[in-house]
Homo-oligomer: A and B are copies of this chain.
Amino acid sequence: MIKNDLYLKALRGETVERPPVWMMRQAGRFLPEFRAMRDRYDFFTRCRRPELASEITLMPIRRFPLDAAILFSDILVVPQAMGLDFEMREGVGPWLENPVSNMADVEKVEVPNVDDTLGYVFDAIELTLQKLDNEIPLIGFAGSPWTILCYCVEGKGSKNFDVAKTFCFTQPEAAHLLLQKITDTTIAYLKRKVEKGVSAVQVFDSWGGMLSPEDYQEFSWQYIQQIVDALKPLTHVVVFGKGCWFALDEMSKSGASALGVDWTVSPENARKLAGNEITLQGNFDPSRLHSTPETIRKMVDDMIRRFGKDRYIANLGHGILPNIPVENAEAFIRAVVDWKE
């Protein structure tokens, strides 16, 4: 049994004394010990070596009273396992030398045996769970099929992912075949994570907000729904769609245990759009962690009061920025932990 199960109570919609807290990218560049590790090993080496990935996962846990850990990894390990050789380039970010551009490319993409290709992730989960010693839950994650497609087709980050969108709009059959292959791989990948012992899985749809509501339905949501349907009997599924305010109503009926929202969605709008039955997670503007600790504390108190302490997980509205002072991140976390009605 997990000693601090506040995060799981919030996912189950139980009454709590205060909401649980974790931060997207909490095991990230804002931590000096993470930067020191980065200077010694490249990005995907850190993902692939279980002793490194588990150590990085624990870094924020050793510093802060967080209510959940999230396995250090990357959404792009899935397309890597499917035969797409993503690199992480300094100053550029994700990079794929030969992006997917037509049906012939899609046909070459594999739906791999996840144990053969992603065993290092499952080993990292095992090692991390040993180190966590049942203190707090461990979250597993994956990118949404649409978000993964964005990188596979664009080959790198983008402001608006127009190349990926154009691929979908001009070659919908190829797009749907690729999305289904990613979905099938992701389901097998997340199922195995649950078998290894993660307490919940979060699906990150970072680029769903680039699509119109109709195109979101066609190219993103229907595949996330497949993932929720497949995982729901086994664990809690959390769906975070950045910019996807327009889909919160449908998402709330999906069977997901919680929905992540970004900071453009006020707590009142989040509840209006998603209803009162589902747990919400978010949504502090990551840039707002540049405010003073005093302002951060006030804003966190306001955020909790407006979302309400139950059916709520305090978090950022997207990943923490690399240049946030550690004491500001700590002020955010402690403001939740010390919160009183």
Chain A contact residues, CB within 8 Å of chain B: 157, 159-160, 162, 165-166, 169-170, 209, 211-213, 215, 243, 245-246, 263-266, 269, 285-288, 290-291, 317, 321
CA distance A246 to B269 in the complex (A): 8
- Could you give 5 example pairs across A and B, Cβ below 8 Å? A165-B290, A169-B290, A212-B285, A215-B288, A243-B243
Partner of A266, one of B213, B317, B321: B213
* Complex interface: chain B residues within 8 A of A166 (CB): 287, 290
Say yes or no: B169 contacts A321, CB within 8 Å: no
Partner of A264, one of B157, B213, B266, B291: B213
Say yes or no: A287 contacts B169, CB within 8 Å: yes
* Complex interface: chain B residues within 8 A of A245 (CB): 245-246, 264
Partner of A170, one of B285, B291, B317: B291
* Complex interface: chain B residues within 8 A of A264 (CB): 209, 211-213, 243, 245-246
* Complex interface: chain B residues within 8 A of A285 (CB): 165, 211-212, 215
Closest to A168 in B: B287
* Complex interface: chain B residues within 8 A of A160 (CB): 287
Say yes or no: B212 contacts A162, CB within 8 Å: no
Say yes or no: B169 contacts A291, CB within 8 Å: yes
CA distance A269 to B247 in the complex (A): 11
* Complex interface: chain B residues within 8 A of A215 (CB): 285, 288
CA distance A265 to B273 in the complex (A): 14
CA distance A230 to B25 in the complex (A): 45
Closest to A213 in B: B266
* Complex interface: chain B residues within 8 A of A287 (CB): 160, 162, 165-166, 169
CA distance A288 to B170 in the complex (A): 9
Closest to A264 in B: B246
Q: Give the most central of A162, A243, A264, A285: most B CB within 10 Å.
A: A264
Q: Give the most central of A212, A246, A269, A291: most B CB within 10 Å.
A: A212
